[in-house]
A = this chain, B = another copy of it.
Amino acid sequence: MAVEDGSVGIVETKCFTYAEPPDEVELECGRKLGPITLAYEAYGELNEAKNNVVLIVHALSGDAHVAGYNSPDDEKPGWWDMMIGPGKGFDTNKYFLLCSNIIGGCKGSTGPSSIHPQTGRPYGLSFPVVTVKDMVNAQKALCDHLGLDKLLCVVGGSMGGMQVLQWAVSYPDMVRLVIPIATTGRLSAQAIAFNEVGRQAIMSDPDWMAGDYYGKTTPHRGLAIARMIGHITYMSDMSMHQKFGRMLQDKAEYGYDFVTDFQVESYLRYRGDSFVKRFDANSYLYITKAMDYFDLGQAYGSLREAFAGVKTKFLVISFSSDWLFPPYQSKEIISALRQNDIDAIYMEIQSDYGHDAFLLESVQLTQVISNFLRHGQDRTR
């Protein structure tokens, strides 16, 4: 760790537990869940009016640790450190930032790897299927617990963006500004397909054992393959060409065998292998399923109807080379918002980084987001 200017420094992950039996939460699937623990982090100071709260919601493999370092030994800061800190896009001198690990996750919040209170063993597949709406309701419970009844802004990319949209629809009076980034109002068939192949890779791994692998060998091979597939979809053809091209890994000529030849192969294997050390395979199944199920307009008839009555102001951001959540999907959101006369800014950022751009394009994101926050905060509703 090297705490630089603009870092929030050493931060602590906290926990909040609610929905203790018999007050379990009823989930969208109809099943009940409780107790529920949420791991969360907070940075900056809550002002007296409590109107400077920015809720950050994370993507598939994210967690509550958005910025700073949990320990002086950490090699890397939180997953969106580029955006959060003194003077950064989400300026901790101005805003109180909050992020919790989603339910269904494996980074401190209740998920399939948590202990089932009735059996004393990990839930595994007995964990109920959770949805994006369930994740948002859990975040609302955390806000209630912290006494936050207004959010200045909810922001997130990818599956985080789905939660952002759900926030605006589920709690329209609570949220002043939302920033859905590189996301969609409903997951496409192609994205469902990629998720399904990842799940099949996990469930085909003999070590998966119908989800009951805790304390034994984990289905690391299947999870690594799922992650490799994911990584290809997060990059663009162009960024892979620029980063790897056809360069060979530690050799001058083709090996004519099935050991690694190309750098891109080596990179994917490395990313797959690192992921299995930090992520639970069952959580991967549950979270991708939540993404598949996300179709904001479905319960309302259409996306336009879902946004009826929403007063929140939107900044919708897409990236030109994102083919997993392509710009046309953000434009569909914008179109549905404008049909409701909702104040909505659309920004397509030119980037070669593909879907990953939301974790990389710090300069462009900082500029557009800090402007949006400043103007949004100045206005009264």
A41 contact set on B, CB distance < 8 A: none
Q: What is the count of identical protomers in the complex? A: 2
A265:B225 contact, CB within 8 angstroms: no
Q: Tell me how many residues of A have a C-beta within 8 Å of chain B.
A: 57
A189:B323 contact, CB within 8 angstroms: no
Of residues A30, A197, A232, A295, which shows the largest number of chain B Cβ atoms within 10 Å of its Cβ? A197
Alpha-carbon distance between A192 and B194 when the two chains are bound, in angstroms: 17
Judge whether A87 is part of the interface by a CB distance below 8 angstroms: no
B257:A129 contact, CB within 8 angstroms: yes
A190-208 near B? 1/0 per residue, CB < 8 Å: 1011101101110111100
A204-228 near B? 1/0 per residue, CB < 8 Å: 1110000000000000011011001
* Closest chain B CB from A113 CB (angstroms): 16
A272 contact set on B, CB distance < 8 A: 200
A253-269 near B? 1/0 per residue, CB < 8 Å: 01011100110110011
A225:B240 contact, CB within 8 angstroms: no
Partner of A241, one of B31, B188, B221: B188
Judge whether A148 is part of the interface by a CB distance below 8 angstroms: no
A18-36 near B? 1/0 per residue, CB < 8 Å: 0000000000011100000
Judge whether A309 is part of the interface by a CB distance below 8 angstroms: no
Closest to A262 in B: B192
Closest to A294 in B: B246
Judge whether A11 is part of the interface by a CB distance below 8 angstroms: no
* Closest chain B CB from A329 CB (angstroms): 10
Judge whether A125 is part of the interface by a CB distance below 8 angstroms: yes
- Starting from the known contacts A128-B256, A188-B240, 13 additional A-B residue pairs (CB-CB under 8 Å) come to A129-B256, A129-B257, A190-B237, A193-B228, A193-B265, A193-B268, A196-B262, A196-B268, A196-B269, A197-B225, A204-B222, A229-B229, A258-B285
